[in-house]
Amino acid sequence: MKITLAHGSGGLSTGELIDEIFASRFSNPVLDKMEDSAVIPGAGTIAMTTDSFVVDPVVFPGGDIGRLAVCGTVNDLLMRCARPKYLTCGFILEEGVDSELLAEVVTSMADTAKEAGVIIVAGDTKVIEGNGGFYINTAGVGFVDDGVSCESANCKDGDVIIVSGNLGDHHAAILSNRMHIENNIASDVAPLNDMVFNMINDGVNIHALRDITRGGLGTILNELADASGTQMDIYEEKLPIDKEVEGFCKILGLDPMYMGNEGKLALVVPAEDADRALNIIRNSKYGESAAVIGNVVSGSGVVMHTKLGGRRGIGVLVGEGLPRIC
Amino acid sequence: MKITLAHGSGGLSTGELIDEIFASRFSNPVLDKMEDSAVIPGAGTIAMTTDSFVVDPVVFPGGDIGRLAVCGTVNDLLMRCARPKYLTCGFILEEGVDSELLAEVVTSMADTAKEAGVIIVAGDTKVIEGNGGFYINTAGVGFVDDGVSCESANCKDGDVIIVSGNLGDHHAAILSNRMHIENNIASDVAPLNDMVFNMINDGVNIHALRDITRGGLGTILNELADASGTQMDIYEEKLPIDKEVEGFCKILGLDPMYMGNEGKLALVVPAEDADRALNIIRNSKYGESAAVIGNVVSGSGVVMHTKLGGRRGIGVLVGEGLPRIC
């Protein structure tokens, strides 16, 4: 079946689309009520976030837009040490979308939501003119435990910077696919619940957490430095990068500092907690390549100590690295 | 300034776009932190919903996509008797969007959010190839008071059906604009906080509330009938319709039963509360044309008693009434 404008009418065809594609795959007692909004248990402090996903292609090595749409929002909640609970999803479909492709993506969303421990409580579908593309927005709510404070401004002189694994995988996978280059590079898109809650449950004093997405590690470290009034010193030789991705970057002249991941985080912790945090992440799902990459010092901006012994200032990404990466 | 793909990079240009267009207009202490997610006070029971907005044109008589994006989600929260609190917004911009138009829409969103008593706590911007169009997703969270239960399944035999004002205004305004017909028809897009909370505060026993959007009153009444296992009997002569909209519909052969509004609700209350509810709505903002239109009876489906004394079964909307109305 091909999607038509009638599927966005709000009438019979919309109902059929919802029944056939969405309702069965996302089914839960909250969503099944099909009301104007979901009424659900809350908490004293909540986290809330949103992301839209326009990745091209919608299915890529290692994942698809559905898995991405769940992970992106779940990870943003985790970055404030919130327990992800509820997602909403809004689909904007261009006419001509193949319903089998849509069903595949929705199945992937449902599977990823299950992995990440969230339920989809509300949704919306619109149809626009076009040529078979589609976009997904997700918004999420998580619960924040009493006394937890995890934000960029908390980074302190003396803290240690850890990244949870290899840089640039998602960017390299999307670009390889778009350039029709055959290799073994796959997106790292994944929900990071496991590593974050293993650290929280073990009492790691998390100062700041950021997931490494658009703009790459370089941009995110600058945001951490700006928000906290500190300098981020990192060491090029310590940056974890997959060999194949590294080769791919060298050939194309890409800088992994500005390449997006979709299943990696940057963590800032006090020095005394660094070894423990690193061990916990390495023993968590999706964290096997984690590494300490540098330190927070007094100053401003981001400085990379290069392999050749020099120092290089790292700014935020200028221009567009790769359009529609997420 | 025209928006380019670089504005979706997550780097410098994205930061400039956020600073120049979004941050100043939406500024509040939560959003200003610019973290991966907002951390905010919650409540024991919350309502959550989402809608994407693809209306064409983005500015129309009586409103714009920004006001629509706030009202649509705020009203969906209100329809569960929740107090709207927080919105997220996700913008998908096509290359070439004029930043002045974007700023106008964002200002309208900010103004409408203020009117509706919500704050925008998180946002996201993506840029895709295209020709200057844009889409907005909003998701919302509201707080639900203890003991409040307002849902479609609550409709009971003997209840009274009220609509809060004239039908079809939004649909007729969009269609007039697209057909370049000059008239005085304007969209009714509005947040309905005032009438809903005036009823709640006065102790009206609200059985069900639905806002009348895509699919129109006909589709919504069918959903209420299905969810509650009842029949909705309505009277054609009682349907409130603006004279100019009525004339517009007659000329074009449109049926107001299937035309969307964006600032109207259908209310189902016990008979003993009907007069009070009607008075409250009529004396609330945006409710001056409210009317009792029929009753809930035993049976199934929706039956209209026509002006000529006949009976007409009202199904859900089949096909597409008007694409991209919201």
**Pick from A104, A109, A169, A114: which is nearest to A138 by CA?**
A109
Residues of B in contact with A82 (CB under 8 A): 37, 39
Q: What's residue A280's pLDDT?
A: 98
pLDDT in tens, A132-145: 999 999 999 999 99
**Whole-number pLDDT of residue A318:** 87
Which of A137, A196, A219, A265 should be substituted to probe chain B, the one whose Cβ sees the most B Cβ atoms within 10 Å? Answer: A137
Q: Where are the beta strands (DSSP E) in chain A?
A: 38-41, 45-53, 59-60, 63-64, 83-94, 119-128, 134-143, 160-163, 208-211, 231-235, 265-269, 291-297, 301-305, 311-314
pLDDT tens column, B134-175: 999 999 999 999 988 899 999 999 999 999 999 999 999 999
Which positions ≥6 away from B135 have C-beta within 8 Å? A92, A126, A128, A135, B52, B53, B54, B91, B92
> What's the token pair of residue A218?
């370089």
CA distance A257 to A238: 12
CB A212, CB A166: distance < 8 Å: no
Please indicate whether, in this complex, the C-beta atoms of A79 and B8 are within 8 angstroms of each other.
no
Reported ipTM: 0.95
- Residue B319: the pLDDT is 78
Q: What pLDDT band is residue A11 in, cutting at 50, 70 and 90?
A: confident
Is residue B91 a contact partner of residue B8, using CB atoms and an 8 Å limit? no
**B267-304 pLDDT, tens per residue?**
999 999 999 999 999 999 999 999 999 999 999 999 99
Neighbours of A250 (CB within 10 A): 9
Q: Is A22 helix (H, G, I), strand (E, B) or coil?
A: helix
B269-286 as b/e, with b when 16 or more CB fall inside 10 Å? bbeebbeebbebbbebeb
pLDDT of B320 over the 80 cut = no
Tens-digit pLDDT profile for residues B186-205: 999 999 999 999 999 999 99
The whole-chain average pLDDT of chain B stands at 96
> Three-state SS for A28?
coil
Task: Report angle CA A43, A72, A146 to the nearest 5 degrees.
Answer: 25
pLDDT digits (tens, 9 = 90+) for B104-117: 999 999 999 999 99
Asked if the Cβ–Cβ distance from B36 to A215 is below 8 Å, we say no
Residue B262's pLDDT is what? 98
Q: What are the tens digits of pLDDT across the range B1-30?
A: 899 988 988 888 888 999 999 999 999 999
Pairwise CB contact (< 8 Å): B124 & A51: yes
Structure token pair of residue B109: 């969103």
Residue A97 has pLDDT above 90, yes or no: yes
Question: pLDDT tens for residues B219-265?
Answer: 999 999 999 999 999 999 999 999 999 999 999 999 999 999 999 99
Q: Nearest CA of chain B to the CA of A172: how many Å?
A: 15
Q: Please determine, for residue A147, whether its predicted confidence score (pLDDT) is greater than 90.
A: no
**Is the pLDDT confidence value at A8 over 90?**
no
Joined tokens for residue B272: 């003993």
Report how far residue B106's alpha carbon sits from residue B57's, in angstroms, rounded to the nearest whole number.
15
B260 to A10: CB separation less than 8 angstroms, yes or no: yes
Q: Is the pLDDT of residue A321 over 80?
A: no
**Could you give the CA distance from residue B233 to residue B313 in angstroms, rounded to a whole number?**
10
HEC states along chain B? CECCHHHHCCCHHHHHHHHHHHHHHHCCCCHHHCCCCEEEECCCEEEEEEEEECCCCCEECCEEHHHHHHHHHHHHHHCCCCEEEEEEEEEEEECCCEHHHHHHHHHHHHHHHHHHCCEEEEEEEEEECCCCCEEEEEEEEEECCCCCCCCHHHCCCCCEEEECCCCCHHHHHHHHHHCCCCCCCCCCCCCCHHHHHHHHHCCCCCCEEEECCCCHHHHHHHHHHHHHCCEEEEEHHHCCCCHHHHHHHHHHCCCHHHCCCCCCEEEEECHHHHHHHHHHHHCCCCCCCCEEEEEEECCCEEEEECCCCCEEEECCCCCCCCCCCC
- B125 interaction partners in chain A (CB closer than 8 Å): 52
Chain A nearest-CA distance from B231, in A, is 18
Tokens of B165: 């004002």
The distance between the two most distant Cα atoms of chain B, rounded to a whole number of Å, is 67
Identify the band that residue B182 occupies on the pLDDT scale cut at 50, 70 and 90: very high
CA-nearest residue to A6 within chain B is B320
Residue B321 has pLDDT above 80, yes or no: no
Q: Are B65 and B58 in contact, with CB atoms under 8 Å apart?
A: yes
Answer yes or no: is pLDDT of A208 > 90.
Answer: yes
Q: Report chain B residues whose CB lies below 8 A from the CB of A37.
A: 47-49, 76-77, 79-80, 82, 140, 142
Interface test with B, best of A39, A83, A262, A317 (most B CBs within 10 A): A39
Is the CB of B11 less than 8 angstroms away from the CB of A143?
no
Residues 6+ apart with CB under 8 A from A293: A161, A162, A163, A234, A235, A238, A239, A240
Q: Which two tokens stand for residue B174?
A: 């969009």
Can you tell me the distance from the alpha carbon of A268 to that of A290, in angstroms, rounded to the nearest whole number?
A: 13
Cβ count within 10 A of residue B306:
12
Query: Which one of B36, B80, B88 has the shortest CB-CB distance to A139?
Result: B88
